[in-house]
Structure 1
Amino acid sequence: MWYNTKTTAMLGISYPIMQGPFGGRLSSVELVSAVSNAGGLGGYGAYTLSPEEIYEVDRQIKAATPKPYNLNLWVSDHDDAGGGITDEQYEQTKKAFKPYFDELNIPFPEKPAPFKSRFENQVQVVLDVCPKVFSFVFGIPAPDILEQCRKKGIKTAGAATTLDEAIALEAAGVDMIIASGFEAGGHRPSFLAPAEQSTTGTFVLVQLIREKVKTPVIAAGGIATGRGIAAALHLGADAVQVGTAFLACDESGALPVHRQLLFSAAAKHTMLSRAFSGRLGRGLTTRIAKELAGKEQQLLPFPLQTAFMLSLRKAALVQQQHDMVLFWAGQIAPILKHTRVATLMQSLIAETAAVMNPGKQQA
C-alpha cells in the first residue's frame, strides 16, 4: 500500500505524514498528540524553550500520546557571534523602524543584549528524554551528538534547502533528509549558502536529492492535500512534512487571528522577508516586509531583530494593525479547508489513497 514506506517502518507510524515542528510556541502538546494519535508524526519546535521547559513539554506529550513524536531544535540558533551589536547598528535599525513605532505610539525598546546559544543544553534534554525523532534545522549537529542518538535509538532528520546540504546531511549519517522547498512557510533553514541563494522548489529539490542520495527524503513545502502527498511520493519522496495546514488547525499554538487570516483573502499573498527576525522566512505579506525589502543592512542579526520587534508586535496586535505583524504561512495557504487535525488527517489519507490506488477502498 502507498503508506508502507521506509519511513513509516522506521518510525513505527501508520502514514508517511509528518507535522511541521513549529517554533516560537506555535507548536502545542494538543497538536503533536492529535497528529501522532491519528497515525502521523507530530512534531514540537523547541528552539525557543529552556531545557526545563523542554523536559516539561516532553512529559506532557508522553502523557497525551503513546505514539512516536518529533522534537526539533535549531543547530545554529543565532547570528550574533556573541558580541552583540554596536550603538551605530542599533541607531540604524531604529531609524528604519521609527515610522512604525511612532504610528503605534510606543517607545523604542532598549538595545538587545548579546545572545548566548542554548543548543548544547537543549540537545542534552533531547538525548535524555529520547523522543522517537530528533529533527534539526540550520546545520548539522556534531558527530558525537548524532552518535549518541544512534546509540539511544533516536532517529534523526535534518533539513536541506539545496542538494549540497542534502549530500552533507547524508555524509553525516542522518536517518532522514527533509527537502524544504521555498514554498514553505516559516524560516528558510539554509546552512551552506545564504538563504536567498537557496530557493529551490519542493518538487525539484525532491528529485535532485533522490537522484544523488540514498537516505529517505521527506518532501516539505507546498503540500496540504492528498494530491500533493501523492505527487511527492511519485517523485521519490518517502514521506511528507505538512506545515501550514496543521498550523491553521484549532489545536495549534497560533493566535486565533493568525488562523483566521490563513483562511482569508490575505492568504493569497506571502513573501520572504528578514524584517521580523533577521533571518529569511515566509509569511503573509505585510506593509513592513514590503517597505523594508532591499534594506536588510538596517536589520539586526537573528535573534536580536526578533527581540527588537517584540513590543511592536504586541502593540500591533492590541491595536489590530495586522499589516505590521508577521503571520507565518506557506504559499499553499489559499487552498486550506480544515480546522481540526482529525478531519485534516482523514482528508489527507483518503485523498492520497484515492490518487495512489484509484478505484480501491482505503484499507
Structure 2
Amino acid sequence: MKVVSIVGARPQLVKLAAVAAAFAGTDHRHVIVHTGQHYDADLSDVFFSGLGIPDPDVHLGVGSGSHGVQTGTVLSALDPVLHAEKPDWVLVYGDTNSTLAGALSAVKQHLPVAHLEAGLRSFNRRMPEEHNRVLTDHCADLLLAPTAEAMRHLADEGLAPRAELAGDVMVDICLRIRDAVLAGEHPQPALPEGIDPSKPFLLATLHRPDNTDDPVRLSALVGALAALPVPVALLAHPRLVARAEQYGIDLAQGSVHVGRPLPYAGLVAAVMTSCGVVTDSGGLQKEAFLLDRVCTTVRPETEWVETLEDGWNHLVPDPHELAPDSWAALATRPAPRASRGTPYGDGTAAARVVALMERALADRA
C-alpha cells in the first residue's frame, strides 16, 4: 500500500509523528508532502527534528497568503506530485487550507482520499477551519473520526457509510512525550523570561483571526491576560506578534511574559509545569485535558466538546467582559476531582488508522 500524507501546519505535524511511526513498522510506502503552509521554523522545522518525523519527501514551500491564494497555490503545486506518485491513498489531516487543497487535488485525479480527524464541527461558519473540514469530509472516501461525537456529526450529514471510529492520533504522541518528560528525557522548556516554573503560572496562546484581527478585541484580550493574579507565559504565535505590532499593542504588560512558540516536547512539559492553560487553540485545549490541566478557551465554541465535561475546559468568549474577580477565579480554578476518562482513545489510534486504510483498500480490490 502506498500512502501520501499531506501536511503543512503544526497540529498536522504532531499527528504525522504518530502516523509515520505506525507506518515505520510495516512494508507500506509512506510519502510525506509538506506544503510549507507554516513556514516559520518555530511552527514547522522544529517538529521534524523534535518528534523524530522523517524528512519530507516533497516540500512545496507555499508560504503565506490569503485563504484563497494559499489554498490555490497548494492545489496547483500538489497536482503534479500526486499525478507522479499515484498512491493508493492520499491522507489529509485536520482542517487547514492544506487539508482542503490536498483533498481537492486528489479527488480531481480520482485518487482515494482518507481524512484523519474527520467529523469535527464547531458550527461556527466564521471559522475558515469549519469550511475546510466540512468540504473535506464530503469529498473524502474514508472518514477517520477521532471520537463518538464526530461519528454522530458524520451520520447527521449522511456520511456514516464512509466513517470509521479510529481514535485520536494526537493522543498517541501526547502520551508518549508526557511519559518521556516524566522520565527526564527532555530538558526543561524555555519559558518566557520572568516565569518561575517552581511557582504557579498560566500558559497562554492566541492566534485565531477572530481574536487577533480586530485591534479593539485584541487589546481587550491582552488586557484581560495582563490583569490575572498569576504570571502568564504567552507563547506568541507569529500571527499574534504581527497583529500586535501592526496595532501598536504591547503584549508584555501586567502579568504577561512573552516567549516564542515551543517545540512539541517543550509545550507538553510547559503545560505539565503550569497550573492551567488559556488559549483559542483546538489542539492545546485537548493537550491540556490529556495532561490533567484545566483550560480556559477564549472562544464561543469548541470542536472538542468532551473537554467541557466536569469543568476541565471552560468557554469564555469575552473574558474582558467578566468582573475581574470572576475572570481570575475561572482562569486559576483548580483541577476537577472527577476522572476525565478517555474519550479520545487509548494512545494506539495511529495503528488503527493504518489498519483501516488496509482494510478499505482490500474492500476496493
**TM-score, length basis structure 1:** 0.37
